[in-house]
Structure 1
Amino acid sequence: MILGILQARTSSSRLPNKVLKELLGEPMLARQIERLQQSKLLDKLLVATSDQSEDRAIAELCEKLNIPCFCGPLDDVLLRFYLAAQPYSPTHVVRLTGDCPLADPMVIDELIALHLSGKFDYSSNCGNPSYPDGLDAEIMSGSTLATLQEKAATQTEREHVTYYVRCHSEQFSIGELQRSPSLAHLRWTVDEPADFELVERIYQALYPANPTFTTDDILALLAQQPELTTLNTRHKRNEGLANSLAKENHI
């Protein structure tokens, strides 16, 4: 079984409650789930949120959408992932994050296919990024997830789930999904108000006529309206990870 786990919380410091922010009449998280359900290779999708009271709204949304939801530790996200996966005994786990409402199911399926064909321990399209920030996806074997749960010790390794793989790459066989030409300069994730403005403009332009719009459709829109790409250029990729490392080193 290939299990997709979508991590989501409401306590974002930069854009609180962003996953529940209304996007064309539905919570942003619901829009992302709608896209992820188009994947042909994911056998099951569940949401992993925290057990804090402020995240109860996420669990209620999942119940409404008939999507399984696991509530676990807020900061030990790795433990949350590990516990969420246990009832399903998955052979592979796909890690997804709830700030990516433009997630592309075709890219996810390409990553899964690459991972399975190469029999890798871990694969991603974000180790050496060539896709837009916001199309990130990772997949690991069930045994790799168990290894991470056993060995990851630092606060950053526990919070950022697969950071241990990056720090100890020699311990794993790793697959990388690459795109040419690179689109790594594009920012399609939602961490700031300007990010949401861009995503909302994209949805307004594409979703009504084509709810299953693809990455190529977005690129065509940006080519027609290049001013959209300037809306959210102030922020760097993986700022959350950088902040975690800075905090850990300071401690």
Structure 2
Amino acid sequence: MFSLFLDVRIEGSSFALNLNINTIAILQARTSSSRLPGKVLLPIIGKPMILHQLDRVIRCSSIDKLVVATSVDSSDDKLANTIQSAGFCVFRGDLNDVLKRFADCISLYGGSTIVRLTGDCPLHDPAIIDEILEAYYLSPCNYLSNSSDPSNLSVPDGFDVEVFDSESLNLASINAHLPSEREHVTPWMRRSDTPCQAQHYIHKNPVPFYRLTVDDHLDFELVSKIISELYPTNPNFDLKSIIDFLSKNPTLANTNINTLRNEGYVRSLSND
């Protein structure tokens, strides 16, 4: 299903592919993270962190195409080469204007439904993504996410999924002007004064909240330990296995308890 091997750069090009794609997952990633530079390439039991994530996302049954969207900056050359060498598709676009990167990627590949993922969530469970996609197709909304209401989360941080249609992406690309809206792709879609109908999704089986995204060294320490413990006996371990492991290891689970959630987005708001 994910057989196309391609590294595409779109700097002033109008070239387009027609692959008859309906649902495309775009996983954004770069190596120039300010808090933990190169985190997506840090090794966990001998494999770069981002490849752990891609090997999990690729098992989604509802996705037609999986693309890693990184930048054309030379700092991301190694990342692009690593992903390509593993057989995954790479798109390279604007470094700082991530909204433009997404819009350019969709202009190239097409796709009416877009799943937005970020490269700091290596523990993604494909069943979680499939569940949200199923709910999205049954709802009247243009945007659905399990992370848009921080006061009503039903999965740990690090299992964030956003689903929206290509029309909403195009509208955001044209109308979003704030730096935070360009960097974080979807804030404009979630605003109440836009044509987009945005909804928050609560999972059927809510689980305890843990911080399982990777922004700093403490995050990486926790996620590395989880993968190192669970992967050798079951490479396809699911969210339930993670929760069971953490409930038995509460000290480990609290490794990064004091880290601010969505710190990058909060910081970008100060630039607006």
1:10-54: CA deviations, max 9, x gaps? 001110100000011110011100000110101110000011101
Per the alignment, residue 184 of structure 2 pairs with 160
Shift of 1:174: 2.3
Per the alignment, residue 73 of structure 2 pairs with 52
Per the alignment, residue 28 of structure 1 pairs with 49
1:140-191: CA deviations, max 9, x gaps? 1111111111111111110010011222365222232213775574100000
- Tell me how far apart the structure 2 counterparts of residues 82 and 184 of structure 1 sit (CA, whole Å): 35
- Tell me how far apart the structure 2 counterparts of residues 5 and 85 of structure 1 sit (CA, whole Å): 9
Q: 1:82 to 1:232 in 2, by over 3 A?
A: same
The answer to whether the 8 Å contact 2:188/2:194 transfers is no
- Letter of the 2:31 partner, please give it: T
1:87-121: CA deviations, max 9, x gaps? 22101010000000011111100111111111321
Q: Any idea what SS the aligned residue of 2:271 has?
A: helix
- Tell me the matched-pair count: 248
Per the alignment, residue 170 of structure 2 pairs with 146
- Which of 204, 221, 238 does residue 245 from structure 2 map onto? 221
Per the alignment, residue 12 of structure 2 pairs with none
Q: Any idea what SS the aligned residue of 2:188 has?
A: helix
1:199-218: CA deviations, max 9, x gaps? 01101111000100000000
Q: Any idea what SS the aligned residue of 1:5 has?
A: strand
1:9 aligns with 2:33: no
Report the structure, 1 or 2, having the larger helix content. Answer: 1
- Which of 92, 112, 125 does residue 133 from structure 2 map onto? 112
- Extract unaligned runs of 5+ from structure 2: 1-21
- Tell me how far apart the structure 2 counterparts of residues 236 and 21 of structure 1 sit (CA, whole Å): 22
The answer to whether the 8 Å contact 1:3/1:94 transfers is yes
- Tell me how far apart the structure 2 counterparts of residues 36 and 206 of structure 1 sit (CA, whole Å): 17
1:238 aligns with 2:262: yes
- Letter of the 2:136 partner, please give it: H
Shift of 1:59: 1.0
Q: 1:71 to 1:169 in 2, by over 3 A?
A: same
Per the alignment, residue 18 of structure 2 pairs with none
Per the alignment, residue 124 of structure 1 pairs with 145
Per the alignment, residue 194 of structure 1 pairs with 218
- Tell me how far apart the structure 1 counterparts of residues 225 and 255 of structure 2 sit (CA, whole Å): 10
The answer to whether the 8 Å contact 1:114/1:175 transfers is no
Q: Any idea what SS the aligned residue of 1:247 has?
A: coil
Per the alignment, residue 6 of structure 2 pairs with none
Q: Any idea what SS the aligned residue of 2:270 has?
A: helix
1:52-99: CA deviations, max 9, x gaps? 101001110121122111111111000001101112210101000000
- Tell me how far apart the structure 2 counterparts of residues 182 and 242 of structure 1 sit (CA, whole Å): 26
Q: 1:247 to 1:174 in 2, by over 3 A?
A: closer
The answer to whether the 8 Å contact 1:7/1:96 transfers is yes
Q: 1:48 to 1:196 in 2, by over 3 A?
A: same
The answer to whether the 8 Å contact 1:118/1:175 transfers is no
- Extract unaligned runs of 5+ from structure 1: none
Q: Any idea what SS the aligned residue of 1:69 has?
A: strand
Q: 1:245 to 1:184 in 2, by over 3 A?
A: farther
| 4+ residue segments displaced more than 2 Å | 166-171, 179-185
Q: Any idea what SS the aligned residue of 2:69 has?
A: strand
